[in-house]
């Protein structure tokens, strides 16, 4: 059971990335079942990058897919690279190849960020309008409440495409932002903190030794959110779960829940 009054994030350490992915799949399915039972749909923002690929592949396997009514899942994205949707770097393409196409998720339930457009500010505004439509909100209302936001952690402390010291970190009057990322010499679309911090549940997936230092800084270091954007993800009325593998957890000092390979929610 889950205690919403406990503001501190829950950190779960899994022996391997595979065990972590299985536990995350179990929680994804359980959250989805509950949301669909309560509200006839499950609203999710997917993470890009490499870490969630195994989770997505698992969800498309028969044993997992049968547990969720995928026609009732509304799929959004937390961020997108400024490339075409069939590009190797596209977060949509990754999720589509590994999960959405194999699951035959109805196209009308898949809301990809149109980050290939030349005018990214207009693309951000259009994605906000799409969120408003699906969540049945006015575009100037408080941000939508996602049932689940999946996030990763970059070794520089970024999450979604909220990179250190970038403009989108300070956006408090929009749900979606075009973000210049000078450190990568690129641009991205990203959900903003007002959306991430309205989520009912945020699941961070973090694996590998190259994340160990930054994970300890984000979770246990002094607040420095301009340098460590992931520190700013603190939903006011939601829960944050960190799914971490042992390699990424080695620098953590405080006791965390250790989980066996089959532990779910
Ligand atoms: C992206 C992301 C990004 C990602 C982190 C971690 O588009 O790249 O959504 O925020 O989650 O960079 O990426 P890895 O899982 O590949 O380490």
Which of 45, 50, 153, 183 maximizes ligand 1 atoms within 8 Å of its Cβ, making it the mutation to test the pocket? Answer: 153
Once rounded to an integer, what is the mean pLDDT over residues 136-152?
A: 95
Q: Which atom of ligand 1 is nearest to the CA of 47?
A: 9
- In this structure, the residue with its CA closest to atom 11 of ligand 1 is 152
pTM for the model stands at: 0.94
Q: In the structure, what pLDDT confidence band is assigned to residue 8 with cuts at 50, 70 and 90? A: confident
Once rounded to an integer, what is the mean pLDDT over residues 154-178?
A: 98
Judge whether residue 256 has pLDDT over 80: no
Rounded-to-integer distance, Cα 173 and Cα 189, Å: 15
Q: What is the pLDDT of residue 59?
A: 98
The per-residue pLDDT for range 84-95, each reduced to its tens digit, is 999 999 999 999
Q: In the structure, what pLDDT confidence band is assigned to residue 255 with cuts at 50, 70 and 90? A: low
Rounded-to-integer distance, Cα 189 and Cα 168, Å: 9
Rounded-to-integer distance, Cα 100 and Cα 90, Å: 14
Q: Let me know: does 241 contact 170? Beta carbons within 8 Å.
A: no
The answer for residues whose C-beta is within 8 angstroms of residue 199's C-beta and 6 or more apart is 45, 145, 146, 147, 148, 149, 235, 238
The per-residue pLDDT for range 53-90, each reduced to its tens digit, is 999 999 999 999 999 999 999 999 999 999 999 999 99
Q: Let me know: does 23 contact 14? Beta carbons within 8 Å.
A: yes
């Amino acid at each position: 059971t889950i205690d919403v009054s406990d503001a501190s994030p829950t950190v779960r350490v899994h022996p391997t990335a595979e065990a972590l992915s299985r536990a995350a799949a179990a929680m994804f399915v359980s959250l989805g079942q509950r949301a669909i039972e309560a509200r006839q749909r499950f609203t999710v923002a997917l993470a890009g990058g490499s870490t969630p690929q195994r989770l997505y592949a698992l969800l498309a396997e028969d044993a997992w897919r049968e547990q969720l009514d995928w026609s009732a899942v509304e799929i959004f994205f937390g961020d997108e690279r400024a490339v075409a949707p069939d590009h190797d770097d596209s977060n949509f393409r990754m999720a589509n190849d590994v999960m959405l196409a194999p699951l035959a998720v109805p196209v009308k339930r898949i809301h990809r960020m149109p980050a290939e457009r030349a005018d990214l500010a207009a693309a951000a505004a259009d994605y906000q309008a799409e969120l408003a439509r699906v969540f049945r909100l006015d575009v100037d209302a408080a941000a939508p409440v996602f049932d689940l936001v999946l996030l990763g952690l970059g070794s520089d402390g970024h999450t979604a495409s909220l990179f250190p010291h970038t403009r989108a970190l300070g956006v408090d009057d929009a749900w979606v932002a075009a973000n210049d990322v000078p450190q990568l010499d690129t641009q991205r679309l990203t959900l903003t903190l007002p959306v991430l911090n309205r989520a009912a549940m945020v699941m961070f997936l973090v694996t590998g030794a190259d994340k160990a230092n930054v994970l300890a800084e984000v979770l246990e270091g002094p607040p420095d959110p301009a340098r460590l954007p992931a520190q700013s993800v603190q939903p006011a009325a939601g829960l944050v779960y960190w799914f971490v593998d042992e390699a990424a957890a080695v620098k953590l000092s405080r006791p965390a829940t250790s989980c066996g390979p089959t532990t779910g929610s």
